[in-house]
């Protein structure tokens, strides 16, 4: 039944896709009828079940005990407009710099309905979004964004870079502008009414409800697509339709969600756009971070003018990587090289050590299983060509942290180095490995 249900929904998704392709400049007004019980079942299947419970305290397991009845009731409230969007429970997690980052926890039922609506929106806007955006889109990834950037910059042998940092984007997204952007493509009353309720649902923090006048539902399934719609209009279309035709040289924009970098072949072009960006974002209720948004030259060491020359050249961070230059093996050419950003590496090392400390009394096979999963997850993201040295640093430090805290499990049964050698052979941690090859023809150093 599940496979048949997924096939039915896939057929409807193709119909929406064809409709959006046939009418690229028109607003679609009849979309709500696509969301029925089969659609909600598929949305529920795609919804994560292991998240924390929202303000109602209901877990996924509890909701699914009477799944059909609950989904039928949810569908009825959605269609009649009586659906009540519950506030989002707010929690805080530390950022890399130690400052708190707010996250939202919707209810499980809210996640299902948000997924159902997001499936419609994503299908429509995938026909409109440009190739420069990579975040939260099917078939696209951060590694593809890095590949596109590296290819462009390497072919040109350097250029000028604008690092773009939007202050609190998800918290300050302007509802009025978002509604005007949605008006251009989606005017179905049922969908728009539900989206409006999510935007106005507010947050519950320490038992106190607070109204939200701006921003998207933090932690909500629908937030990424709404954010992409917003920045598609504010940045992507503007750059390609208004900025590029006025430049004297080549340029590129690469965006992943609210993280973006712009590259320019010409310094004068880069400075003109850099001066215009704050005004562009202020027009739509957004602010660029005055310190993290910067313009810098990015050329191989020794290239460019006197200000740009140096032993290592200029670097910048994007998507957790620091971008530098390195020579090819034959020493004839320069390549753009992404390496794990020092802040991300230190955070990973700190988290691994802290986990080993807090769980040092668990059985060793269980510790080994979790550490292997953590290391493989790190390699899956940071395992890029040329980054092998920092991957090995992480693997070595993970081993050291594990040994350190295992030796502190007990004063009576201390783990000697001889015993550790036996444990290491029995429970080996995964070796560093390259997963993503940016330059297949270039051997990894």
Nearest to 429 by CA among 355, 367, 385, 380: 367
What's the maximum distance between 2 C-alpha atoms anywhere in the chain?
A: 75
CA–CA gap between residue 50 and residue 136 (Å, rounded):
20
pLDDT of 266 reads 95
The answer, yes or no, to whether residue 313 has pLDDT greater than 60, is: no
How do residues 85-138 score in pLDDT, each as one tens digit? 998 888 877 666 666 677 788 999 999 999 999 999 999 999 999 999 999 999
pLDDT of 444 reads 36
Cβ-Cβ contacts under 8 Å for 250 (sequence gap 6 or more): 156, 264, 265
Nearest to 336 by CA among 382, 391, 389, 298: 298
The answer, yes or no, to whether residue 338 has pLDDT greater than 80, is: yes
The band of 407, judged by pLDDT with boundaries at 50, 70 and 90, is confident
pLDDT of 411 reads 64
Tokens, residue 117: 């609506």
The band of 309, judged by pLDDT with boundaries at 50, 70 and 90, is very low
pLDDT of 308 reads 45
How do residues 245-273 score in pLDDT, each as one tens digit? 999 999 999 999 999 999 999 999 999 99
Nearest to 321 by CA among 271, 254, 235: 254
> Are 220 and 234 within 8 A, CB to CB?
no
Cβ atoms < 10 Å from Cβ of 426? 10
Site of tokens 């040109």: 156
Nearest to 326 by CA among 160, 438, 435, 250: 438
How do residues 146-182 score in pLDDT, each as one tens digit? 999 999 999 998 999 999 999 989 888 999 999 999 9
H helix intervals, 232-363: 237-238, 267-282, 342-358
Q: Is 325 exposed, middle or buried (0-12, 13-18, 19+ CB in 10 A)?
A: buried
Angle between helices 189-199 and 67-80 (to 10 degrees): 100
How do residues 3-25 score in pLDDT, each as one tens digit? 778 888 999 999 999 999 999 88
């Amino acid at each position: 039944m599940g496979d048949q249900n997924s096939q039915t929904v896939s057929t409807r998704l193709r119909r929406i896709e064809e409709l959006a392709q046939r009418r690229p400049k028109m607003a679609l007004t009849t979309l709500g009828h696509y969301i029925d019980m089969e659609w909600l079942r598929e949305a529920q299947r795609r919804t994560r079940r292991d998240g924390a419970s929202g303000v109602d305290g209901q877990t996924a397991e509890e909701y699914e005990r009477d799944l059909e009845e609950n989904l039928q009731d949810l569908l009825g409230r959605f269609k009649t407009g009586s659906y009540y969007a519950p506030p989002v429970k707010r929690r805080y997690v530390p950022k890399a710099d130690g400052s708190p980052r707010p996250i939202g926890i919707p209810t499980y039922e809210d996640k299902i309905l948000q997924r159902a609506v997001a499936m419609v929106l994503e299908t429509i806007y995938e026909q409109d979004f440009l190739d420069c955006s990579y975040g939260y889109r099917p078939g696209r990834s951060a590694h593809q964004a890095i590949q596109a950037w590296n290819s462009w910059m390497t072919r040109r042998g350097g250029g000028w870079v604008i690092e773009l940092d939007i202050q609190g984007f998800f918290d300050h997204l302007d509802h009025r502008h978002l509604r005007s952007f949605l008006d251009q493509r989606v005017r179905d009353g049922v969908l728009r009414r539900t989206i409006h309720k999510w935007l106005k649902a507010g947050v519950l923090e320490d038992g106190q409800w607070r109204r939200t006048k701006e921003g998207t539902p933090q932690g909500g399934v629908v937030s990424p697509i709404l954010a992409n719609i917003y920045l598609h209009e504010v940045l992507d279309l503007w750059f390609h339709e208004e900025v590029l035709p006025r430049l004297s040289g080549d340029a590129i924009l690469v965006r992943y969600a609210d993280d973006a970098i712009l590259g320019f072949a010409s310094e004068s072009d880069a400075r003109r756009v850099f001066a215009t960006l704050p005004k562009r974002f202020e027009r739509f209720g957004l602010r660029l971070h005055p310190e993290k948004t910067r313009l810098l030259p990015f050329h191989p060491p020794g290239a460019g003018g006197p200000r740009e020359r140096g032993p290592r050249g200029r670097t910048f961070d994007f998507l957790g990587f620091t971008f530098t230059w390195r020579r090819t093996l034959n020493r004839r050419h320069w390549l753009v090289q992404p390496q794990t950003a020092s802040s991300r590496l230190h955070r990973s090392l700190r988290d691994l050590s802290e986990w080993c400390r807090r769980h040092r009394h668990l059985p060793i096979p269980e510790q080994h299983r979790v550490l292997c999963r953590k290391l493989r997850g790190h390699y899956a993201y940071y395992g890029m060509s040329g980054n092998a040295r920092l991957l090995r640093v992480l693997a070595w430090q993970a081993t050291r942290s594990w040994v350190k805290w295992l030796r502190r499990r007990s004063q009576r049964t201390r783990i000697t180095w001889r015993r550790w050698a036996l444990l290491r052979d029995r429970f080996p941690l995964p070796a560093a490995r390259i997963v993503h090859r940016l330059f297949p023809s270039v051997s990894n150093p």
